[in-house]
Amino acid sequence: MNNAEYIIVGAGSAGCAMAYRLAEAGRKVIVIETGGTDIGPFINMPAALSYPMSMKRYDWGYKSAPEPHLGGRELACPRGKVIGGSSSINGMIYVRGHAKDFDHWAESGAQGWAYADVLPYYKRMEDWHSGGRGGDKDWRGKGGPLHVTRGPGTNRLTRAFIKAGAQAGYELTSDYNGEKQEGFGPFDATIWKGKRWSAASAYLRPAQATGNCEVVHGTAARVVLENGRATGVELTDGRVLEASVEVIIAASAINSPKLLMLSGIGPAEHLSEHGIDVVADRAGVGQNLQDHLELYVQMAAKGRHSLYKYWSMIAKAWVGARWLFTKSGIGASNQFEAAGFIRSKAGLDYPDIQFHFLPIAVRYDGTGAQEGFQAHVGPMRSKSRGAVTLNSADPMADPNIFFNYMSHPDDWEEFRNCIRLTREIFGQDAFAKFRGEELLPGADAQSDEALDAAIREDVESAYHPCGTCKMGSVNDPMAVVDPQGRVIGVEGLRVADSSIFPRITNGNLNAPSIMVGEKIADHVLGKAPLAPSNDAPWLHPDWKTAQR
């Protein structure tokens, strides 16, 4: 099939959700995806999460440009090049974001995207299972395509982290995706029956089963535009796929702006530099790039309570075999089973720090493992902004990805605060019998200067790029799409993925990316949006005067 009513570029989190909703409504859909199958143990075994994002078979392999405020380091920027996109290579952590994030979107020009507007879509997409670990069922969805579960949370270090948060004076929350994000409690994950539950599993395969959705293997070179209207997509092999109604780009915060610019939509001067004819001069395309940075505050551990005992080849083989035959045991969890969301200071009305606790000391790529435990910590709303630009008009050339990390002076103060607050939590009685020496940043790193040096050398991306095709008012010169995802200045073309986020949300981005796909699908179909919710989120009653 080389024509359909709708062409979706990218079989990732948002693209799969849209494909299902359009196909379910009887529309004919083509989904273009560069990557291949998501079938295989490295993707589907939750505990193997560090492997697929470093495999060329599944990952675009992008790196940032040298980051001047991080000593010229080039940071990895994994993006899924596989069916399911980044939902097939991510850490499977499920965070909706805080209600105030979406209220900010609406206030900044994305009308119809306040929390009251998006909460019904989160409920529609979820099939939530508490696993007996508490929760807030009135705020959660049941029967949706996306299974969301909780790990067992039985590890003694994992339990100690939640207890230590309470001992430090912070709130506990039974469900950070419910009424109350602020506090310490169990993590949610896109895992079902011991396997990764990606957007491909939740949405794309059901879409294909309708008979209305076909996946075409290929790489988009440009959107075909005729008289200011998108009519199809040209692939790098010369094939042209025709769309009788719309083209929808859902290719990631890196590749969506790249494709727009290759198609003549973007900053006119930049396009002209690369010999690209300008169809729509949109200054915001590729700008407003945001991400979460995090530092792994690592502690050595006493005893053998960490996951390090599973790190030998024999133990890994046993874990793998058990998972392969029973889909149970250590291999069936991403091991991120304890979360924390706190405010860094009084005067903030909602959290600006997130913790991912892991009961082992190890880098995200699986290297450097030792007996210990760690919290990934970093500020949620950095003021730094970067950009995605073209290196070449060649569609096969990587774009230039410049995050401009830590370029705002406030970032340094916020990050130091993150480290010191983490140390305080690790210093609580709950960790007394487990706690060894501090491995990273190290006990000697106490001064602002020493912490800044550790930040420069050791922070890593949390792999949450967004914002490069900002959604906003048509009168906003930096907005790329309107609140229905329509590219401003072009007919028949939308963008729907994390690139349209006006500002990054609290936490991991897979859940809000899928939600964007769900909501934009209704706009594409001309449906009335789901009725707004009247549920009001919990805010700390003393937020104006107290940090905890």
Residues placed in the known binding site for FAD:
82
Pairing of strands 3-9, 29-33: parallel
- Separation CA 397–CA 479 (nearest Å): 26
Q: Which phi and psi (to 5°) does residue 152 adopt?
A: -65, -30
Tokens of 134: 């508490």
Q: Which residues of 63-76 are buried (b: 16+ CB within 10 A; e: fewer)?
A: ebbebebbeebebb
DSSP labels for 132-164?
TS---GGGS--SSSEEEB------HHHHHHHHH
- Separation CA 118–CA 483 (nearest Å): 12
Nearest to 41 by CA among 313, 331, 262, 380: 331
Tokens of 107: 């206030």
- Contacts with 531 (C-beta within 8 Å, 6 or more apart), sequence order: 120
Torsion of CA 60, 61, 62, 67, to 10 degrees: 160
- Separation CA 111–CA 114 (nearest Å): 7
- Residue from 98, 356, 464, 540 carrying the catalytic annotation: 464
DSSP reduced 3-state for 114:
coil
Residue 427's CB is within 10 A of a number of other CB atoms, namely 16
For residue 402, list its beta bridge partners. Answer: 387
Annotated binding site: 82
Active site residue 408: no
- Separation CA 295–CA 166 (nearest Å): 22
- Contacts with 436 (C-beta within 8 Å, 6 or more apart), sequence order: 299, 300, 301, 302, 372
Nearest to 157 by CA among 11, 33, 301, 362: 301
Tokens of 301: 């551990």
- Contacts with 423 (C-beta within 8 Å, 6 or more apart), sequence order: 297, 438
Pairing of strands 280-281, 353-358: unpaired
Place of tokens 């939902």: 87
What's the 3-state SS for 174-223? CCCCCCCCCEEEECCECEECCEECCHHHHHHHHHHHCCCEEEEECCEEEE
DSSP reduced 3-state for 255:
helix
- Residue 274 half-sphere exposure toward CB, CA atoms < 13 A: 22
Give the H/E segment covering residue 315.
helix 313-326
With 0-12 / 13-18 / 19 or more C-beta atoms within 10 angstroms meaning exposed / middle / buried, residue 227 is exposed
| Enzyme catalytic residues | 464
